[in-house]
Amino acid sequence: MSQKADIALIGLAVMGQNLILNMDSHGFVVCAYNRTVDKVTQFLNNEAKGTKVIGATSLQDMVNKLKTPRKIMMLVKAGSAVDDFIKQLTPLLSPGDLIIDGGNSEYQDTTRRCDELKKQGFLFVGSGVSGGEEGARYGPSLMPGGHKEAWPLIKDIFQSISAKADNEPCCEWVGEGGAGHFVKMVHNGIEYGDMQLICEAYDLMKGLGMTQSEMAKEMDEWNKGELDSFLIEITRDILNYKDDKGYLLERIRDTAGQKGTGKWTAIAALHYGVPVTLIGEAVFSRCLSALKDERVNASKHLKGPERKITVQNKAEFLTHIKHALYCAKIVSYAQGFMLMREAAKEFNWKLNYGGIALMWRGGCIIRSVFLGNIKEAFERNPELSNLLLDDFFKDAIKRCQESWRQVVSHSVLWGVPVPALSAALAFYDGYRTDRLPANLLQAQRDFFGAHTYELLGQEGKFVHTNWTGTGGNVSASTYLA
């Protein structure tokens, strides 16, 4: 009898192929399957030639070639395609077999699938997979969640193929239900924020008249310090990239797309009442960029400030931009971890925040030295309510916030849009303020809608005032959202 596979993988796009080759290189026998069966043959005859990878001509054939309990991972488009494959697989499987969804599924879908498959006796894992095609091949960041009983079945495979940071795998069990996909969603939201912040720094440097070569050199310097990260590194390389027509970047149309995970993060933030303002602005910035024709038209009619973009000391201002980027980045992660903490309360997940930071240290798009500081912060205090309150980050913002304010204020005076940098600063100033003007807002709501308010010193007791003398004393139901 031919050798049976340790795991099967459905979906032979670039990520799927590279993940299979990664598993193979770590000694696991993988069965490859694709809806278009010709793709399996092509893969076996080309990329997988000379490996232990075996192919399947049908789902039944794939199931027959697996060791029990069977482990089947899908890397297919999120949504109905995942449900369709599950529907086709379950009649072929035995109780205790495991299905893994490695796509960017919505966490609510993963929670639903966990519940549905548990009733049928099957195990289910929804795992975030980050790192792009290179990460998939040589070590991604993996964020598995779902049925806890499934973790011992895949732990060896997942931790073997994942990236390593400080010799530790960038993969650990996240939590029940949709926890893995929720953490991956927040990762992608932070990725949106990081990318937008870097774009704003690039826009300011461009406004200062710097060449792409000069900007690349500056980014290279930044990448040697506290901003050392994958995204700064690739930005430097993008700025340096030339083809036969010269620098490519300036010829790329300034309209950005999105696949939805940043939007989902913003929606989740609104749903749970967490002020994830920077990621929200990053999503809206992409939406604004998509209005290219409208922006071109508006640029002919709407005037900004007359003043020119000039600074007395360019080197000093570049340091200000670097520090502003660092401060805003701290806020971005603080907001992301706030959102995870709120969701953990809602779903009773026992999230290991330091462990999540470690999972993001290598393999993924937001990997950076900075995440080591986050891991240490949660090691110092596992109950830390907000990263901004950790001594390391508190001192970093204290040291750099003057630069942050200089950059945001100059940008406003110059008419250069910095939505993410400014939203992060507004959040920081709001979060550190012991009394916000929401007392007036509550009075307004009670005035026009009898929505009630609490008095200082009488928290928990909601009262209504007849502000005009002509209104009634009946109040509406109380809500705080």
- Give catalytic residue positions: 184, 191
Q: Is the separation of the CB atoms in 182 and 107 below 8 Å?
A: yes
Determine if residue 90 is labeled as part of a ligand binding site: no
48 is in an annotated binding site: no
> Is 223 part of any known ligand binding site?
no
The reply to whether 13 sits in an annotated binding site is yes
- Would you call 404 helix, strand, or coil by DSSP? helix
At residue 352, the 3 state secondary structure works out as coil
Kindly report the number of other CB atoms within 10 A of residue 286's CB atom.
17
Q: Helices in 1-131 by DSSP H: which ranges?
A: 14-25, 37-45, 59-64, 80-89, 107-119
Inter-residue contact 114 to 126 (CB < 8 Å): yes
Whether residue 22 contacts residue 45, with contact meaning beta carbons closer than 8 Å, is answered with no
Record the tokens describing residue 37, joined without a space. Answer: 């069966």
Sign of CA dihedral 360, 363, 368, 372: positive
| Whole-Å CA distances, 290 to 284, 285, 295, 340, 381 | 10, 9, 9, 29, 42
How far apart, in whole angstroms, are the C-alpha atoms of residue 218 and residue 114?
48
Cross-strand pairs, 169? 164
Work out whether strand 168-169 and strand 123-130 pair parallel, antiparallel, or are unpaired. Answer: unpaired
Question: In the beta sheet, which residues pair with residue 332?
Answer: none
Residue 205 in marked binding region: no
Cα Rg of the chain (Å, integer): 25
Task: Name the residue with tokens 């919505």.
Answer: 106
Dihedral sign of CA atoms 403, 405, 410, 415 in order: positive
**Pairwise CA distance, residues 278 & 274, whole Å:** 12
130 in a labelled binding site: yes
49 is in an annotated binding site: no
67 assigned binding-site residue: no
Identify the CA nearest to 105 among candidates 124, 82, 86, 88: 82
15 is in an annotated binding site: yes
Helix%, strand%, coil% for the chain, nearest 5 = 55, 10, 35
Would the annotation count 104 as a binding residue?
yes
| Main-chain phi, psi angles of 352, to 5 degrees | -100, 100
Q: Is 188 annotated as a binding residue?
A: yes
Tokens of residue 44, six digits: 């076996």
Cα–Cα nearest to 351, from 184, 239, 121: 184
181 labeled part of a ligand binding site: no
169 Cβ contact partners less than 8 Å away, ≥ 6 residues apart: 158, 159, 160, 162, 163
34 marked as part of a ligand binding site: yes
Q: Is 192 annotated as a binding residue?
A: yes
> Does 432 carry a binding-site annotation?
no
- The reply to whether 268 sits in an annotated binding site is no
Question: Per the structure block, which two tokens stand in for 458?
Answer: 């009488």
Residue 77, marked binder? yes
**Is 286 marked as a binding-site residue?**
yes
Q: Are 65 and 41 spatial neighbours (Cβ–Cβ below 8 Å)?
A: no
Query: Which run of H or E residues covers position 100?
Result: strand 98-101
Was 16 annotated as part of a binding site? yes
Binding site for NADP(+): residue ranges? 11-16, 34-36, 76-78, 104
Known binding residues for substrate are 104, 130-132, 187-188, 192, 259, 286, 445, 451
Annotated binding site: 11-16, 34-36, 76-78, 104, 130-132, 187-188, 192, 259, 286, 445, 451
